[in-house]
Structure 1
């Protein structure tokens, strides 16, 4: 997969990046295509467009999940509003000198570019996934020591911060220690990223729990505001693609595997694909069930 695939053409906007599920655009100068092409480095605004593409195990799968891009954008915007005291990268499109293209308005966010930190700020509140596998072998999660006797899906005594180094597109992110984040961004910024991530996670967890939903884990991305240097929340936030959510009642009944995300896709793919070559197309029932889980989460949180 290349850094720039084949994003949808948008009048007045130039595509500058295409990831597994999102495409980035910057405004084309009013004078047209001159000697200096638009870029993320020089743009005042960036359009983040969430697609309906779905990925699992570092593969973009076919077909996509209908309406997924709009649903995840709606959820991000809702969470940014709940966290209004946390600086974020959103720009009000009603007052900006550029506008959202009508064709992608329901799945696009207008944002200001940030100098992004090369760290995935992962916070875990429950023992699950790769963390559970490591805990069984070493009693740790990403090197963080945990009490003995925990079971899969247990709530941790306190949320833990387990950062990762953001790998190049197509590669796996690499779990790193807090000390390594200090080497990457300096002690002050590393501590600020950790503390802010844990604070936002706790606040979001309380919001979700009040609605009968458990936030098991999530990842944040932050950047520095290019004018003030302020640490700013960017990318998507607390969506079904970046977070693991559970129904609190279902969890209490003992089912710790039913999540409001693409776990249905992961489960099907792990059973029906060896991991080599092109992955098979997703069957219709898997696509339908996944779309329903995305919608159900938004209805539960925002009702």
Structure 2
């Protein structure tokens, strides 16, 4: 992972930086006893477990706007936002931050796939299944699945790769009751969101959710980001319907532009190359277009 730096924000202490987000607690508290957290989305962009340079202009603002919009659409699903918290976000992080309640996070990425692509496509080509779920023969990259499938991944410690796992393995990790609840909730949220986006001419090919338990009530709560361009593959519905090739069908609004350029220009050895200005500009434009189309 590349170098990560975080802002100094008045009233808050920086405690952790991920590839894209920086985490703060109120001054005088620690991450063990903080009553709330400040999560700031940076303009950093990552691919293949590396933070790349340069960042994507306004990316943090766009991701935060998209998460907040989806949290509002999914008002029947408990989420980690602190009511009224936006009024207390430092000016230096305005538009890029959320104040949230701490959760006891499940070590699982709750992945839902409505279409076959990415790592799911690679696995399907080898086994005709994804995380042990058998799929029909003859699928092409980018095809819609007969119904959305839940394909969890184990969240590896920082610096290691996340691992796709079977549902049975998920049960071993979090217990049957939690595993079933997470699967049902993930499929529910995906189905609601997919209906919303298709009405706007967009497809959510796949996405990942992260859930935790409220420390007080034990309620399963949607955390982290939700249905952003970093956590989801968004495609253009008209292009998917008309496209003759996978590239034409999967016209993306996410960081696939970055992944594709990096895969073509780097052998994953050593430090990744800097992104050229044209790739940065194209990615920023697609992130912005997605916001406009969803929220119009």
TM-score range, shorter chain: over 0.9
1:91 aligned residue: 82
* CA offsets 1:204-258 (integer angstroms, 9 cap, x no match): 0000011010010000000000110000000000000000010101111112232
Pairing 1:289–2:282 present: yes
**TM-score calculated relative to the size of structure 2:** 0.96
1:263 aligned residue: 256
Q: 1:241 to 1:181 in 2, by over 3 A?
A: same
* CA offsets 1:98-125 (integer angstroms, 9 cap, x no match): x110011110001000000000000000
CA distance in structure 1 between the aligned counterparts of 2:240 and 2:116, rounded to whole angstroms: 13
CA apart distance, 1:83: 0.1
SS at match of 1:106: coil
CA distance in structure 1 between the aligned counterparts of 2:94 and 2:86, rounded to whole angstroms: 15
SS at match of 2:137: coil
Where does structure 1 differ by over 6 angstroms across 4 or more consecutive aligned residues? Answer: none
Contact 1:71 1:295 in 2 (8 A): yes
| Aligned length in residues | 292
CA distance in structure 2 between the aligned counterparts of 1:198 and 1:90, rounded to whole angstroms: 21
Contact 1:46 1:112 in 2 (8 A): yes
Query: 248-257 or 155-164, which moves further after superposition?
Result: 248-257
1:67 aligned residue: 58
CA distance in structure 2 between the aligned counterparts of 1:45 and 1:216, rounded to whole angstroms: 33
Contact 2:239 2:250 in 1 (8 A): no
Contact 1:142 1:177 in 2 (8 A): yes
CA distance in structure 2 between the aligned counterparts of 1:193 and 1:136, rounded to whole angstroms: 27
1:35 aligned residue: none
1:280 aligned residue: 273
Q: 1:162 to 1:113 in 2, by over 3 A?
A: same
CA distance in structure 1 between the aligned counterparts of 2:86 and 2:38, rounded to whole angstroms: 15
CA distance in structure 1 between the aligned counterparts of 2:86 and 2:92, rounded to whole angstroms: 20
Contact 1:93 1:100 in 2 (8 A): no
Contact 1:122 1:217 in 2 (8 A): yes
1:200 aligned residue: 189
SS at match of 1:109: strand
Query: 142-151 or 20-29, which moves further after superposition?
Result: 142-151
Query: 132-141 or 102-111, which moves further after superposition?
Result: 132-141
CA distance in structure 1 between the aligned counterparts of 2:44 and 2:123, rounded to whole angstroms: 30
Q: 1:39 to 1:193 in 2, by over 3 A?
A: same
CA distance in structure 1 between the aligned counterparts of 2:262 and 2:62, rounded to whole angstroms: 23
Pairing 1:27–2:26 present: yes
CA distance in structure 1 between the aligned counterparts of 2:167 and 2:260, rounded to whole angstroms: 31
CA distance in structure 1 between the aligned counterparts of 2:189 and 2:56, rounded to whole angstroms: 28
1:103 aligned residue: 92
* CA offsets 1:235-283 (integer angstroms, 9 cap, x no match): 0000000000101011111122321111111111111111111111111
Pairing 1:142–2:135 present: no
CA distance in structure 1 between the aligned counterparts of 2:148 and 2:180, rounded to whole angstroms: 16
Q: Mapping of 1:246-261 within 5 angstroms?
A: 246-254=235-243, 255-261=248-254
Unaligned runs of 5+ in 2: none
Contact 2:85 2:100 in 1 (8 A): no
CA distance in structure 2 between the aligned counterparts of 1:143 and 1:45, rounded to whole angstroms: 38
Query: 105-114 or 167-176, which moves further after superposition?
Result: 167-176
